[in-house]
Structure 1
């Protein structure tokens, strides 16, 4: 009898009623809130109404399609104002010239200082005409009427400069998440009036590391929830967009997705083939031309506006985007300043919070207002209003652990030296390379029917808490390997890229490998959590965690099966970090092969996972090796 048979007998019918639409709506709301900035403030709302006039226009593009645009203009005509533009797929609501947003701009600092602030529904979304294409590819060799997000921005800016009174001829762009992607696209073939742009948590590569996939592994939970509405058809322009049309029927995501079974069931049982973006995901499992065309990074050349890319170290959606956008521009020696800001924030947290803490972790400062007041606002004011140069560093980086802002003239900093954290027998971890040992590997049984959960919480939407949650719940499982250092006798600070380099074998023909770099607090750590009653002794803070689908170890475009029992190197990017492991703490690395339902289950058999059946899922034993010749490690950049 196949081991999944008992699972089939306990399948629950997916009674997806309309009774709990809020669950799905929350997934989309996360993006909208990020784009809109801080919450409602009565004083701000009154200021906007008393000091701004709102008009709505359908701005024509070069191919005749018109895009719905809401324009907020200062009532005072005593001076000329720069324009701030935000292009979004998440609605410019509220609609109607008598209905006003409760706050304007990246922050109300802009509205109070005097800016023309413009919001636009991108092509094919909400009230704009045309057909929507998610992360639409940039077209480098355009004909006269060819359009992409770059041309739509160019045409919009051109119209605004020529038609909106009292503008000073300068434009800035900003946006968070998908609007961050559209902001990046404004810098390609930029209109001459565009002087400054700030892509913030920009969607940059939906396959390699943002939102939908990481290193070839499908991010099931966030993608399913988000695309349930985002990918639904929009028959005609509408202020309502495409609302969610189903609900979960349970508060437990682990149960919901396990009962759903193989990914193909989502389409057969729920989407019924009608969700265009979901269909694209299922049809392009590898990093093919479809995905490669959708990242702007290869095109970030000859960038003329000043660019300030912003991200958060605890961003649950788009940590990859800001790091790769900044690096992509930097590689090509931009003609204007190219800056990076990374703070201790979740997705969009710099725009809508104080940034003092996340969960149990304190940062000892109001980091988000600091960013808005000291970094973001002066940056735009300098380039759009000729205000004094704020003398911002190349990289303005918040270092967690030490809880300090650091200024660097490059990222990663010159003083960071590459060092390897090696795995050793008996669960040891150190910067010393392993010597000959009788036991050269550790192994665990990975069962797709009992995957390692991504959180200890019972929750239905992904949220962000897993990014800073105590990892002890995972460390106790038999299918999670744990390697821990001795107690640190001095601070260890890392700044820059983190890379996993594993030597592994499996009894299957494919596998996922999840690696987490963790800061282990001492048993006598002070109980200073913002959450009353929390004991911080022994807390395990995930500094960086990442997944790799092993069949893509040599190429994301051409997957290769693993050979059972053969030792194979699996090396992958875990993205960047800036963190101090303080004296008295320990470093830890956890290795596992599921992270459910954050990441879909790997059948551990070399198949097209998007077409896999129940019969394809199998148990497998994975080994991680740490001999001198097969020295598994996590590579970090240690500040001297």
Structure 2
């Protein structure tokens, strides 16, 4: 029965076999893959003799030659064995139907590949004997174009998150056959802005949960590594679990027991030292030759920073490359590669944005650069504007026509633009500061109902629960009378003091919906959207790094000082009747580890280091606190 079905499938073209749209049924997709592709497994030699396990799926139709599309991953190229096929090939099933040669490779030291795995292996190939992820990619491409049957000599690479990092590495000193790369949510810098740290603050549940499985040792090549499953927290309440954890040093003492090497490495590198600087791939994105399409999500809780920084540094370091494109949509981590992209949490985007991206942007990009097919002409930046829920094309990012506008914190929790500096409102200053007590024992939750994971939905979650707490400062504009479109990064300037010697500063930009805003239809969860406070962007900054991530400095109790940092870009329109709100707080738990508010090495802090402190935000004419945004008319 199956053999006869496979024979029929093999004889049909994708257009004849499937109606539009293409099927989502994994069974039907896999039947097509098995019938139309032959799987090979290779151990590809690197320049130092290490062999990397590589699975290659080649179209059975040899009437013409096909380009190769490669994904290098630390997460396994399973299933293993030439008789075992993946359910689908490529970023989406449309690629298998369109026909490419698909290459999947376990990176050095992972799963079935030889060698030693190094997290974010530094790029360093000063001599011909040096190896890194760039040279491993080069050596793989060199072998593939010579040994894989029926290839046309063109290679592309793509991947999301860690595989996105390997794609960015593959762009560096790329093999001449590498024609197109799409780093998607690429990891770029694990201390400054990606995954585990944001501006020196540890993203606790993400780092803990990821490394609890991924960080377990793998002494030799294996198909199914033992003990890499989900960590059992013993409770669904992440707030309770991580609060009970106590100081960070307890993670290894209580749970990891010395088995998670990279966690302990992180604990020994609490500043931006050479350990972290060497892993920063941004500095190497120079003279990139392949066409590049960097992809990210505006609401990506993991690697929003990485997507923006990969694009920006490629643009800066490769000015002669005229095919460097940024694509940003309203997605969580990898959301463009699954589902339809019409919503995230309680946010609705009015269309199937992920399907649009996959069909109209991603596949046409690879077809043009690897097959020479189609009339695809990418703009410099192809971004989704939430609020109005429309796609925008720009010839630069941030848009050249954007203009800076400063919004200042004011008396009475008000937020007013440039021509309303503090001290000019109502003819004088009524007060010039706001203060709150921050207690590490009762931190502000990052989402109203916390699980044990880093809930992706927090990026668009309702902030009303936070704005009503006494340890959260709130500033907001009057109701807007016309569209207010912000496109680009947001600069923060806070003039602050604390009774402690250290403090975190979390700033959130929020869209406040009108009281009569309609509920979603359908609305199975019964969420009321009237007055909803939708998080548009939130970012923390560890105060001791205010002058240098490498050389932390204590606060002098009671002495005002300045905190400046840049939040990742947004593209959002605040509609008429809405309000622009800014919230300021010092805890965001358990998303962030707790700052003891005593100047110390937080990764080795003890219980006695955690103290209450009173934090003050100043807003006088000489100490102006607020945000600077980029306006687009």
After TM superposition, the score normalised by the length of structure 1 is: 0.93
Contact 1:229–1:242 under 8 Å retained in 2: no
**Does the residue aligned with 1:274 lie in a helix, a strand or coil?**
coil
1:433 deviation in Å?
Answer: 1.7
**Does the residue aligned with 1:172 lie in a helix, a strand or coil?**
strand
Aligned equivalents of 1:107, 1:256: Cα separation in 2: 37
Aligned to 1:179: 163
Match of 1:132 among 99, 117, 122: 117
Aligned equivalents of 2:24, 2:123: Cα separation in 1: 34
**Does the residue aligned with 1:285 lie in a helix, a strand or coil?**
coil
Aligned equivalents of 1:458, 1:351: Cα separation in 2: 26
Aligned equivalents of 1:570, 1:355: Cα separation in 2: 36
Aligned to 2:622: 629
Contact 2:42–2:55 under 8 Å retained in 1: yes
Aligned equivalents of 2:59, 2:517: Cα separation in 1: 52
Aligned equivalents of 1:476, 1:48: Cα separation in 2: 54
Aligned equivalents of 2:528, 2:205: Cα separation in 1: 30
Match of 1:443 among 424, 435, 438: 435
Aligned equivalents of 1:458, 1:388: Cα separation in 2: 46
1:400 aligns with 2:400: no
1:296 deviation in Å?
Answer: 1.3
**Does the residue aligned with 2:55 lie in a helix, a strand or coil?**
strand
Aligned equivalents of 2:515, 2:521: Cα separation in 1: 14
Aligned equivalents of 2:513, 2:617: Cα separation in 1: 26
Range 546-555 or range 359-368, more displaced: 359-368
**Does the residue aligned with 1:293 lie in a helix, a strand or coil?**
helix
**Does the residue aligned with 1:48 lie in a helix, a strand or coil?**
helix
1:635 deviation in Å?
Answer: 1.2
Cα deviation, 1:109-158, whole Å, max 9, x if unaligned, reads 211111000100000111111100011100152x2221000010001111
Range 353-362 or range 612-621, more displaced: 353-362
1:469 deviation in Å?
Answer: 1.0
Aligned to 1:11: none
Aligned to 2:10: none
Match of 1:612 among 601, 605, 610: 605
1:529 deviation in Å?
Answer: 5.6
Cα deviation, 1:386-410, whole Å, max 9, x if unaligned, reads 1133111000000000101000000
**Does the residue aligned with 1:580 lie in a helix, a strand or coil?**
strand
Aligned equivalents of 1:393, 1:177: Cα separation in 2: 23
1:40 deviation in Å?
Answer: 5.7
Aligned to 1:433: 421
CA RMSD, Structure 1 to Structure 2 (Å): 1.2
Aligned to 1:168: 152
Aligned to 2:286: 301
Match of 2:565 among 565, 572, 580: 572
1:531 deviation in Å?
Answer: 3.3
1:105 deviation in Å?
Answer: 0.5
Match of 1:315 among 276, 297, 300: 300
Aligned to 1:381: 367
Aligned to 1:467: 459
Q: What is the correspondence of 1:72-471 to structure 2 with a 5 Å cutoff? A: 72-141=57-126, 143-241=127-225, 243-244=227-228, 246-332=231-317, 333-431=319-417, 432-435=420-423, 436-471=428-463
The alignment of Structure 1 onto Structure 2 pairs a total of residues equal to 602
Range 235-244 or range 582-591, more displaced: 235-244
Structure 2 unaligned blocks of 5 or more: 1-22
Does 1 or 2 have the higher relative contact order (CA < 8 Å, sep 6+)? 1
**Does the residue aligned with 2:41 lie in a helix, a strand or coil?**
strand
Aligned equivalents of 2:252, 2:527: Cα separation in 1: 42
Cα deviation, 1:508-563, whole Å, max 9, x if unaligned, reads 00000110000000001111265332211000011100000000000001000011
Q: What is the correspondence of 1:47-66 to structure 2 with a 5 Å cutoff? A: 47-66=32-51
Cα deviation, 1:82-103, whole Å, max 9, x if unaligned, reads 0000000011111111111111
Aligned equivalents of 1:378, 1:59: Cα separation in 2: 30
1:591 aligns with 2:584: yes
Aligned equivalents of 2:321, 2:164: Cα separation in 1: 21
Cα deviation, 1:7-64, whole Å, max 9, x if unaligned, reads xxxxxxxxxxxxxxxxxxxxxxxxxxxxxxx976222111111111111111111101
After TM superposition, the score normalised by the length of structure 2 is: 0.94
Aligned equivalents of 1:269, 1:360: Cα separation in 2: 36
**Does the residue aligned with 2:122 lie in a helix, a strand or coil?**
coil
Contact 2:125–2:132 under 8 Å retained in 1: no
**Does the residue aligned with 2:294 lie in a helix, a strand or coil?**
strand
Range 526-535 or range 83-92, more displaced: 526-535
**Does the residue aligned with 1:180 lie in a helix, a strand or coil?**
helix
Contact 1:517–1:544 under 8 Å retained in 2: yes
Aligned equivalents of 2:567, 2:289: Cα separation in 1: 30
**Does the residue aligned with 1:135 lie in a helix, a strand or coil?**
coil
Contact 1:40–1:103 under 8 Å retained in 2: no
1:476 aligns with 2:468: yes
Cα deviation, 1:255-308, whole Å, max 9, x if unaligned, reads 111111000011112112221111111111101111111111111111100000
Range 316-325 or range 452-461, more displaced: 452-461
**Does the residue aligned with 2:283 lie in a helix, a strand or coil?**
helix
1:444 deviation in Å?
Answer: 0.4
In structure 2, do the counterparts of structure 1 residues 68 and 530 end up closer, same or farther at CA, with 3 Å as the change threshold?
farther
Aligned to 1:504: 496
Aligned equivalents of 2:25, 2:103: Cα separation in 1: 19
Aligned equivalents of 2:134, 2:189: Cα separation in 1: 17
Contact 1:285–1:608 under 8 Å retained in 2: yes
Match of 1:492 among 461, 484, 489: 484
In structure 2, do the counterparts of structure 1 residues 418 and 530 end up closer, same or farther at CA, with 3 Å as the change threshold?
farther
In structure 2, do the counterparts of structure 1 residues 223 and 504 end up closer, same or farther at CA, with 3 Å as the change threshold?
same
Structure 1 unaligned blocks of 5 or more: 1-37
Contact 2:507–2:539 under 8 Å retained in 1: yes
